[in-house]
Structure 1
């Protein structure tokens, strides 16, 4: 059955998510994350795409892009091909790294543009990887707060900041307040996650991938510090609830919540 053509955004702006095949990790260390951002930076120059935001998680990536002199599908294909080549060379692997083609949603209003950038920046907080949005090194958030991002010219934050004020300092402060508001925004990956629920057996297999060589039954007997480190990794797995993880591990949901 042929794929449906991707619906074009009237503004040219897209919220894009790329995910590891079978939900595998895309990034194993900082070198991988830096290489992805460098690749995006190079493609930005040739395609003239505007990069309004990003967030690199372990097994998926959020991007907020505006296409320019080429279709967004072409830009994403070149990004994917280049990074997969690097990944396969480094880890001596072959085959697919990313899951199918990238997922996207059109951003047709300023209001939704702001919703998306906040949603992207809050991903690591909601995954319990950091307590504050600016603490996640691998998102565009520091660049909106006046800090540095890598590569230096990757982020195009003027469009969004000017929605808050023409004065740069005032714009950053107002954006910060907006960006850190508690929200229940439901965007692209939440819609996808609602469609795909993991059974306990599937969840168990995902947990085994994350704990890497550790028996599930051993986790609850670990010393607190080591146990919390393992539980924090498990909490980052998508489509597994803390209650489900607790059931599989044989621990209380509260223990996972506090980790």
Structure 2
């Protein structure tokens, strides 16, 4: 179960050989639906969308912040009901995207692997490595040779969107760029990140 005010690495994959995104408009629609369902409950710090899977780093908001934007959450007074509500938001998002995708492409059944993966980010070292892992994922999977060439990521947005977190995790935006470059240049180092994070 997702917990309030906690950082999570959330990721999921398409079923079998399916792709989550077949054309550019799918990426835009996914992000639109994502923001409709998830912005209520979480801040999204880092993200990357690839043809058959995605990675997110989110921080679940406080109970007060969620209640201020969603009246349904205010009526839930038990912790168990509140944590179930958080997971339900993700389920509703996946379902909404799948229904629209299936209608457009005349397909049936689930698009995503049934249970999305979530791993709590426990400290700043983990968070720093996770940000780099998420942003460099398209390079790892061979979609591009350089991080700058993949458009469906928060790589360029992160330092300006989250300056305090950039300073906390990377000391500066310059160091943010350098560390990403170092990991991109050394594939063995990047693979060590994956072993620690997944």
TM-score normalised by structure 1 residue count: 0.59
Q: Is the 8 A contact 2:34 2:93 kept in 1?
A: yes
Instruction: Report the counterpart of residue 157 of structure 1 in structure 2.
Output: 162
Distance 1:20 1:28 in 2: 12
C-alpha separation between the residues in 2 aligned to 1:85 and 1:54?
22
| Cα deviation, residue 135, structure 1 | 1.6
State the 4+ residue runs in structure 1 displaced beyond 6 angstroms: none
Equivalent residue for 2:111?
A: 97
Of structures 1 and 2, the larger Rg is shown by 1
Q: Which runs of 5+ in 2 are unaligned?
A: 67-81, 184-188
Q: Which residue of 2 aligns with 1:107?
A: 121
Give the aligned partner of residue 46 of structure 1.
40
Q: Choose from 29, 34, 38 the match for 1:35.
A: 29
**Match for residue 185 of structure 1 among 151, 167, 192:** 192
Q: In structure 2, do the counterparts of structure 1 residues 188 and 51 end up closer, same or farther at CA, with 3 Å as the change threshold?
A: farther
Q: Please name the residue that 1:242 is paired with.
A: none
CA distance in 2 between partners of 1:25 and 1:132 (Å): 22
Unaligned ranges ≥5, structure 1: 1-5, 147-155, 166-170, 192-259
Q: Distance in 2 between matches of 1:174 and 1:74?
A: 37
What is the root-mean-square deviation of aligned Cα atoms in Å? 2.3
Cross-structure match for 2:75? none
Displacement, 1:188? 7.6
Which residue pairs with 1:17 in the alignment? 11
Structure of greater relative contact order (alpha carbons < 8 Å, 6+ residues apart): 2
Task: Report what 1:84 is aligned to.
Answer: 98
Per-residue CA shift, 1:35-93, capped at 9, x if unaligned? 1111112224433x110111111111111111123644123112201211210121122
Q: Give the structure with the larger strand fraction.
A: 2
CA distance in 2, matches of 1:23, 1:107: 29
TM-score by length of structure 2 reads 0.76
Q: Compute the displacement of 1:181 (Å).
A: 1.8
Q: Structure 2 CA distance, aligned partners of 1:190 and 1:25?
A: 24
1:120 aligns with 2:127: no
User: 1:11 touches 1:108 (CA, 8 Å); kept in 2?
Assistant: no
Task: Confirm or deny: 8 A CA contact 2:47 2:154 kept in the other structure.
Answer: yes
Correspondence for 1:130? 144
